[in-house]
Chain A
Amino acid sequence: MFDQILQFLITGMTTGAIYALVALGFTIIYNASDVVNFAQGEFVMMGAMSTIFLAAGDNGLPIPLAAATSVVLVICVGILLQRFAIAPARGASVVTTIIITIGASIFLRGVALVIWGKDIQAMAHFSGEIPIHIGNATLLPQNLWVMGGTALMVLGVHYFFHHTMQGKAILACSYNRDAANLMGINVGLMMLVAYGLSALLGAMAGILVTPISFTSYDAGVMLGLKGFSAAILGGMGNPMGAVVGGLLLGLIESLAAGLISSGYKDAIGFIILLLVLFIRPSGLMGRRSSDRV
């Protein structure tokens, strides 16, 4: 029993780490531009897909190079999304921006479908598939890659927002856009940086987890939605809350899938989402939201 639970925890931490990255990316965009980016999951899918295809075949790039190129590509997608879909609709209502980002997610999925087709794609593990045993539970090296990579990126994001001028400038924009503008911050540029950063996190998440979970053109949908649930669980707009929410959601899902029913695994995430919204809409770590009267 203990081993079994340990196994669930390992699985949960791994998925949770991915949720955390998606939630973090989502939070960065939400904070910077007040937009709920439904295309967040597509960043993940595109990162994974393009890495697989850049590395494929005899003339394929080595994985690190393919991954790096993919990340740059996805960052460009994020920047283009901001520049051509979000920025022109500034000031639009919540519903309008939601439909725009959903439109963007469908569009990106459509692009992926055209370029890469409908098949499920696999990616080679970074450092082999020899399992590490902890009691009777097993851990793949890739699990460590996911957790370690996530930890590094979370630390990086934290450093960026608290110790660099650019990061602080984005924070300033999210607190008060007009004041930031008056202080000489190039708000437009900061928005691009925020979307680029968010895309980077998504792409990295996709590259890290795909050896374990596979990917396909529509793999981003559920991941994106789970990321939102995680962000709300942690407290909408709170980056560290997003990370905690992601890990927690991954763990709960994995335990529930193992102990209750695997079919309802996905439903559990959304039931938690509803419960959080009903009982404590500000989330576990959020301030009391002003969005609610």
Chain B
Amino acid sequence: MKRIKGLIILAIILIALPILFPNNYFITVVGTAVALHAVLAISLNLLMGYAGQISLGHAAFFGIGAYSSAILTTQHQWNPLLSIGAGMLITGIIAFVIARPILKLKGHYLAMATLGFGIIVSIILVQAGNFTGGPDGLSDIPPLALFGWTISSDFHWYVVMSTVLLLIVWLVNNLIDSRSGRALRALHGSEVAAEMMGINTTSVKTNVFVLSALIASFVGSLFAHQQAFISPDSFSFFFSIELVTMVVLGGLASTYGAIFGALVLTFLPELLVVFEDYEVMVFGGILMLMMIFMPQGLFVALENLISRLYRNYFNPPLPVPASDGENHDVA
């Protein structure tokens, strides 16, 4: 039930916002960006939060999806829907091929390998000018049409992206609470024990890596059609880092945390614009401070704070939970 409750609250918020604030730039444009970032963060969280595998190159898959769609629709006049599928296929193959050697690594090594992969992809996007348009990127990407309905306005995109977000939250939460999801999390807890329970850890790692890349590729394609223009800047190493920060900020292994992280990191630059030249400095400073003082994530920290306030002001202090009477000695 808890699973459904969160989803309903999220749906209500997403529906209520445009009703409460009609024709509001923040709601439609920034809201769409938040939803898109949230889906990316959720997909990365599958890999990082649940399976415990760091990736500093997630933006690469987002970019491969976006560029596949852009290239196929502008240079080969493919149908946008078909190009989304093709992008996912390409991403899936690339992710599958690199998953095994990359996921053999752990800790800093894994971080470096995924970082290296991400940078290689972004360099290719800049250098392969014949296909990618080089640093200038690609423009005139046709809009997406669904069953004869062309998604064109900011509000349309808000609706589409919100729907995608709700769908992904639902699917991911179902998955996490299943046999496969537990296998993922077991991997994070103890690889040896997971293997001894009959879990093929190598293939679980590969699968989650590919799944997370596929989701990123899918929203990458949507992003390309939404923006109608893409350039390598949107898929750089820095965006990978931003995605990782969203996940960690929200609190690892929490889908709603990832959404929260996406919300904060998408709004932050919008708010920091007032700092003008100081924007970069303030952003870096905030990033550092949040990680130093709330390493388990802002979402968890806020949750704790709210429940503490709630207890202090609205309820008498709770009695200390009674001991279960079994005082086991810990060796």
Contacts and interface: CB of A to CB of B under 8 A. Distances in A.
Interface of A: 30, 36, 85, 88-89, 92-96, 98-100, 102-111, 113-114, 225, 228-229, 232, 236, 261, 263-264, 266-267, 270-271, 273-274, 277-278, 281, 289, 291-293
Interface in B286-315: 286-289, 291-293, 295
Contact of A103 (B105, B112, B117, B291): B291
A102 B248 CA distance: 13
Interface stretch (B9-17, B34-42, B69-77, B118-126): B118-126
Interface residues of B, number: 47
Contacts of B293: 88
B106 A291 contact: yes
A36 B123 CA distance: 23
Contacts, number: 142
B113 interface: yes
A107 B284 contact: yes
Contacts of A264: 123, 127
Contacts of B105: 277, 281, 292
A275 to B, nearest CB: 10
Interface of B: 48, 54, 56, 101-102, 104-109, 111-113, 115-117, 119-120, 123-124, 126-127, 191, 237, 241, 244-245, 248, 252, 277-289, 291-293, 295
B54 A267 contact: no
A291 B108 CA distance: 8
B280 A113 contact: yes
Nearest to A93: B295
Nearest to A228: B112
Given A229-B116, A264-B127, A100 B291 contact: yes
A165 B286 CA distance: 38
A90 to B, nearest CB: 10
Given A106-B284, A278-B101, A270 B120 contact: yes
Contacts of B285: 103, 107, 110
Contacts of A273: 112-113, 116
Nearest to B192: A293
Nearest to B113: A277
Contacts of A105: 284
Nearest to A36: B108
A111 B124 CA distance: 30
Given A100-B291, A236-B109, A95 B127 contact: no
Given A89-B292, A107-B281, A99 B287 contact: yes
Nearest to B54: A95
B123 A110 contact: no
A102 B109 CA distance: 16
8 contacts: A96-B291, A99-B287, A105-B284, A107-B285, A228-B112, A274-B116, A278-B102, A292-B109
